[in-house]
Structure 1
Amino acid sequence: MGAITSLFVRKVVAAAGPGTDARNLLASVGLEADATVDPKVMIADTAYYDLIERIASETDITDLPLRTGASMRCDDYGALGLAFKAAPTLQGAFSRVERYARLWTNVVEYELRSEGNTVWFFLQRSGPRRLGLRISNEATLASAAAIAREVSTDGIFDPIEVHLQHAAPASTRAHEDYFGCPVHFGSDRDALLLSKDALARPNRLGDEGITQYLLGHLDQELASVESPKSIARRTRDVIARALSEGVPKMEDVARRLGMSVRSLHRKLSEDGLSFQSLTEETRKDLAVSLLKQEQYSIAEIAFLTGFSEQSAFTRAFKRWLGETPATFRKNS
């Protein structure tokens, strides 16, 4: 199960305003309103999305993610926030987020990707694109803008463009006013498009010595964090769930994982894997598991593993294990 720092929960509840019962909302996810804020206290991502959707049922949340993001400060993030402030440039600051995001969530990954004179800051979050997740993505990008403005020498930071995969709300005026640039909903990505010139500007509190000390501390923290499910395992999970609709394409799996095809290909390659080999392994392992369960007929198993015909499944299974599905079931 995914986890998100309780800091975000408290920020969302505070931003929701007087039209909601803050104490009750926090209690619904196991947090005490009067307790000391501790970013290391985590809650389930699904509980966080449930809470956002509960707020949406009680009040208009069009600008909730913007108000949430605007409330974020570097100091809220502990050592990571200090490292963000101490980075000599904004490029360095965003690089800290890319590397150390796992310290406050295991459901979001960030990627900086250069493109000509610009850099994409991608937000990649897996899971069904329910309302809570979509609002969380908006708030996350809004918070990135807020802390970038905090460390900028003149307090100004406006992306070139903002991209969000989900549909636009009835009005996007608040979003464009907040980000100071065009905001494209219904995009193929969740990301900020930044200029290299803006990223190269020195930070107001940049300090290389402090940066190196903090990075050493963050590396130790990162090493102590339990490793999230590997990208191979996450990819296999998505493939397995999709097989009953046919063999999924890589772009469809990448989208369900909340990342680009390029990122998925790169991450799998780093582990010496390919999408094709993972798909084949997933189909084989799923078939073996289902054949051990008598309630499924071989025809049903063929369908559940992405084959349109039982004969094609039989040929594939014989290639995998050297015997037919019927023989394997009989000998299991």
Structure 2
Amino acid sequence: MTQQTFSMDNAWRLMLVDMGIDADELLRRAELPRDLFSREAVKLPAPSFFRLWDALAEMFDDPELALKIGQALSTEHFSPPIFAALCSPCLSMAASRLSAFKRLVGPMRLIIEETDDLFCVAYEFLQPTVTPSPTFIEFELVFLVRLARIALREDIQPVRVVSTFAPFHSGFTDFFGVVPEKGEREMLFFSREDASKPFLTANESMWDFFEPTLRKRLSELDGSESTADRVMSCLYEQLPGGQTSIREVARSLGMSTRTLQRRLKQEETSFQELLSQCREQLARHYLQHSTMSGAEISFLLGFDEPNSFFRAFHAWTGQTPERVRAAYQHPN
């Protein structure tokens, strides 16, 4: 199975120059090829993508680095997906368009949630077993607020900012206008009034120009993945909701169960092998990064009852979940 990769935005090149960053040193620290930024099309697996952000944070050693990058952004840095968002009639539509094409610029997707009074953008990382860079998370939250302010020419403020890495440095509170809260995922809440305010940068004819190109790039990104990669991505998303059947995954991928089985066989794997691999990776992730009980983890992984999970985990690792958790907490 090949490793899923994600496009890297060309705006990186401009950002490095504008911030006076030594690209060679950055790539060396991130253990990435020295010619990376000179390539026409750059695609990185999620671990390498986040390693680049961690290397950037290491070079600057500044708790407000993500804030400074976000505030330095201008339209010169924006790629087609971001221009498409700026062409939108309002923030709610911009976020919806970004949610459709976010994978073109990073290993994540946006989830839009709305109530009568609030408009919420939640961030979901496509490979939950890969720990995202804190600097990247901070930047993403800053970026959407910055984009809205550029488009509106108004200093709007989110109603709430929630992050797994809160509390942030005080400068973020000054920027957002609210104190970021600790939570289980990254979320930005805006008032429905602010989310509906018309963008001064709205340009539907420009959106009509960008949309076919964006859809073509997204199709190319999907086409570069193996079927096994796509199945794993679906399982990461669907397992916590109890969806573990091959029929449900096949439907999500837009193919029949028989076609999915045939393609996986051509790649010398099977749905059951991938399901077990995904379950093991997520189980290890939960044991290392949460305090959930074995029964709770069992439920999230789609097992009918905890004993089935315990037997499967022992078959994968030769150990009990408790022993593996203890090893994470007290490494030799």
Instruction: Tell me the TM-score normalised to structure 2 length.
Output: 0.65
302, 309, 318: which one aligns with 1:275 = 302
Unaligned runs of 5+ in 1: 254-273, 291-295, 307-332
Shift of the alpha carbon at 1:278?
A: 11
Q: Distance in 2 between matches of 1:32 and 1:192?
A: 36
Shift of the alpha carbon at 1:141?
A: 1.3
Unaligned runs of 5+ in 2: 240-274, 288-292, 324-332
Shift of the alpha carbon at 1:200?
A: 0.8
Amino acid at match of 2:33: G
Amino acid at match of 1:183: P
Amino acid at match of 1:148: A
Q: Distance in 2 between matches of 1:252 and 1:68?
A: 40
Conserved 8 A contact 1:163-1:183: yes
Conserved 8 A contact 2:159-2:190: yes
Conserved 8 A contact 1:3-1:44: yes
Q: Distance in 1 between matches of 2:204 and 2:308?
A: 47
Percent identity over the alignment? Answer: 14
- Aligned counterpart, 1:176: 173
- Aligned counterpart, 2:108: 108
Conserved 8 A contact 1:6-1:43: no
- Aligned counterpart, 1:208: 204
Q: Distance in 1 between matches of 2:128 and 2:208?
A: 35
The alignment partner of 2:173 has SS state of helix
1:211-242 per-position Cα deviation (integer Å, ceiling 9, x unaligned)? 23432332232222225443215644453135
Q: Distance in 2 between matches of 1:250 and 1:12?
A: 41
Equivalent runs, 1:254-273 vs 2, <5 Å: none
1:122-143 per-position Cα deviation (integer Å, ceiling 9, x unaligned)? 111244575x612111111111
Q: Distance in 2 between matches of 1:251 and 1:76?
A: 44
How has the CA–CA distance of structure 1 residues 249 and 145 changed in structure 2, closer, same or farther, with 3 Å as cutoff? same
- Aligned counterpart, 1:317: none
- Aligned counterpart, 2:44: 43
Amino acid at match of 1:217: T
**1:231 aligned to 2:234?**
yes
Q: Distance in 2 between matches of 1:73 and 1:248?
A: 49
Aligned residue pairs total 266
Conserved 8 A contact 2:11-2:79: no
**1:164 aligned to 2:167?**
no
Q: Distance in 1 between matches of 2:307 and 2:199?
A: 49
Conserved 8 A contact 2:47-2:130: no
281, 289, 296: which one aligns with 1:249 = 296
Conserved 8 A contact 2:7-2:104: no
Q: Distance in 1 between matches of 2:298 and 2:151?
A: 36
Conserved 8 A contact 1:13-1:25: no
Q: Distance in 1 between matches of 2:308 and 2:7?
A: 31
Q: Distance in 1 between matches of 2:302 and 2:206?
A: 41
Q: Distance in 2 between matches of 1:191 and 1:242?
A: 22
151, 166, 191: which one aligns with 2:187 = 191
Amino acid at match of 2:100: R
Amino acid at match of 2:134: R
Instruction: Tell me the TM-score normalised to structure 1 length.
Output: 0.65
How has the CA–CA distance of structure 1 residues 102 and 48 changed in structure 2, closer, same or farther, with 3 Å as cutoff? closer
- Aligned counterpart, 1:3: 6
**1:30 aligned to 2:19?**
no
Larger Rg: 1
Conserved 8 A contact 1:160-1:182: no
